[in-house]
Amino acid sequence: MDARTSSGPAGARLTGSGVAHGRYILPHLIDVATLAEHLGLTERTIRRKVAQGEIPHYKLGNSIRFDPVEIGACLEAARVASHPAGTQNGTRP
């Protein structure tokens, strides 16, 4: 089973899931509350990041939804590498 397949809506998680529909894969989108829980943030913080354009999202009427695969890519892009002990910004003291 790849990262974009799932047994159904209950399978939606941050690793990503989707349902094949013809040639297209329709993702199981998650809501603000689910994303906030997974990231350990408040719903208010998620909504603020959406408003500031920091998180990829879909606007469906009054609802905001997120594709777990896109969120994973966003998190990976935001990852900050650690520095070895005694160094800062890759330079030695």
Task: With respect to residue 34, please indicate whether it lies within any of the assigned structural domains.
Answer: yes
User: Within 13 A of 52's CA, how many CA atoms are on the CB side?
Assistant: 7
Task: With respect to residue 59, please indicate whether it lies within any of the assigned structural domains.
Answer: yes
Give the type of residue at 47: R
Look at residue 77 and give its three-state secondary structure. Answer: helix
Whether the CB-CB separation of 32 and 64 falls below 8 Å is answered with yes
Q: The domain containing residue 18 runs over which residues? A: 9-76
pLDDT digits (tens, 9 = 90+) for 6-20: 433 444 445 455 666
pLDDT for 73: 95
Task: With respect to residue 90, please indicate whether it lies within any of the assigned structural domains.
Answer: no
Supply 74's token pair.
């966003």
Whether the CB-CB separation of 69 and 77 falls below 8 Å is answered with no
Look at residue 50 and give its three-state secondary structure. Answer: helix
pTM, full prediction:
0.65
pLDDT digits (tens, 9 = 90+) for 21-67: 667 777 799 999 999 999 999 999 999 999 999 999 999 999 999 99
pLDDT for 18: 66
Q: How many domains does the chain have?
A: 1
Whether the CB-CB separation of 50 and 33 falls below 8 Å is answered with no
